[in-house]
Structure 1
Amino acid sequence: MPSRRDSPLLEVSKLEFVSNWAVVDIAGSLMNRMVMILSRETSLKRALIHKIGINIVEICENVYHSKDMGYVAVQRYEYPQPMVKVGIMDLGIGIAASLEKRYKTLRPSWSDLDAIKLSIEPDVTSREGGGGLGLTQLSKFIRDEAHGLLSIRSGTGKLVISNAGTNREYSDLTYFPGTQIDMTIPIG
């Protein structure tokens, strides 16, 4: 049952980057806006809010590297419990295709779900020269600090990580060409 206090904290916003500097500018202003909104609209501690912002910046960088545009939105819900949901998605090549260049020995036997599970491992990256902290850091943060839920969907696979230590895995979903990241963070 929706509540009157259910409200968009950040309307659906297009993420379209023309350069790496644009990522820094757009993601930085997005992070600042998120910190301001969450500080005003929730009872979350400032340190936790700042970490949410940092993780959003990391995922925005992934959107840039997806070679396509993306979208971000943040919504507050009161039912069934007070929570904030953050959704970030891109229309890029997807996790499996982005990891294929560096981990092609695993292809063709791996599924989209296998690629998603690999993507949350430390030091796994599609980029030459390192990186690879974004999804690892995000999954640990959502599970261990925010005590929330993280859903990562790409291709035909989906992984849902919960703070209860149980993951739900889905394969053979309808194909999605890019990547969807959904975070659910309790605020009550």
Structure 2
Amino acid sequence: MTTVINTPPSLEEKPFEQVFDQVAAVPQDEKIIVDARHVRWANPYGLTALLALAQSRSERPVLYVPEAENVSSYWSRMSFFKHAAELYDLQGKVYPARGQENRNVLLEVTSISETDDVHSVVDRISQVAQDTLVQQLKLEAKVTGRFAMALSEVCQNIVEHAGRGGWVAVQSYQWRVRLGGRKVVVIAVCDSGVGFRGSLESSPAFQQDDRWDDRLALEETLMRGVSRYPDRHRGHGLQGVKNFVASWDGKLSIRSGTARIMIPPKGDWDAEDEQQMQQGLAYFPGAQVQITIPERFA
């Protein structure tokens, strides 16, 4: 049996829940077709989550690629199809990247499976982050180093906790509606590994109680710095990311299993962004992280 998974026109963090809802109802070893023909927009989260989706399936899925030339060309510019070809059977015409487009791509979709990959990502993005963060987002020059640190920490989370590889991508663009049309930088890191709950449960010191679930695992990791490693300093990496994002009025969102934790941002964000914890989401393995840093107004 083959099931068709229909994607929404916009592949971003919240609309992607429609994809997770459909996939959760299909046995993991059943064939699926991901129909992205009518996609009109995808941000770094949407692209990396599509790869994690294919990674999570035991039967190689099919991907119907976007029909719109500008969308397909952008996905090519983001190096999405290079990675997707390893995981999906691609159906439809893939348009090449245009030379003039997407000057705001800070980091194309990049695979992460070991520490050297993380170092490479940080080295690459450090060369372009200064101009974007200082000139476009009007942040202080010192933020560049902390931005690289935050990127390194969320990528290192894949290496240390996922149990398998994942992907990262970074882009800047202008929101036309939200935040008064301000520019933002979006970091997305997605995998389909063991997730935060599975990682903590692998610790020899782990003690489960009746309340233990994905929500508590996220809270233990992000809010209290708990890690599966005995070194008490090992769990504070994501706490540092949380503090960095909060200091620049940004948003940090982490989804794992059936829950999502979000650090409420300041400013003119969507009203639903005030919801710090969501439970009872459709199950999807691994961790899906998005960091959004907005332009700072004087």
Report the TM-score, using the length of structure 1 for normalisation: 0.85
Aligned match of 2:133: 42
Structure 1 residue 101 displacement after superposition: 3.4
Q: Which amino acid aligns with 1:93?
A: V
1:158 aligns with 2:266: no
Q: Which amino acid aligns with 1:150?
A: L
Structure 1 residue 26 displacement after superposition: 2.2
Q: Are the equivalent residues in 1 in contact too, given 2:254–2:262 (CA < 8 A)?
A: yes
Q: 1:109-120, aligned counterparts within 5 Å? A: 109-120=211-222
> What SS class does the counterpart of residue 46 from structure 1 fall into?
coil
Q: 1:7-156, aligned counterparts within 5 Å? A: 7-17=104-114, 23=115, 25-43=116-134, 44-65=139-160, 66-79=162-175, 80-102=181-203, 104-130=206-232, 131-143=234-246, 145-156=247-258
Hey, which of these two has a bigger chunk of strand by percent? Answer: 1
Identity %: 28
Deviations 1:49-83 (A, max 9, x none): 21011121122221012210010001112113210
Structure 1 residue 15 displacement after superposition: 0.9
Q: Which amino acid aligns with 1:136?
A: Q
Q: Which structure exhibits the higher relative contact order, with contacts defined as CA atoms closer than 8 Å and separated by 6 or more residues?
A: 1
Q: Which amino acid aligns with 1:133?
A: H
**Number of corresponding residues:** 180
Q: Say if 1:47 and 1:170 are closer, same or farther in 2 by CA, change over 3 A.
A: same
Structure 1 residue 107 displacement after superposition: 4.1
Structure 1 residue 122 displacement after superposition: 4.0
> What SS class does the counterpart of residue 106 from structure 1 fall into?
coil
Q: Say if 1:46 and 1:27 are closer, same or farther in 2 by CA, change over 3 A.
A: farther
Gaps of 5+ in 2: 1-40, 42-100, 176-180, 268-273
Aligned residues: CA RMSD: 2.4
Structure whose CA Rg is larger: 2
CA distance in 2, matches of 1:129, 1:60: 20
Structure 1 residue 42 displacement after superposition: 3.4
Aligned match of 2:21: none
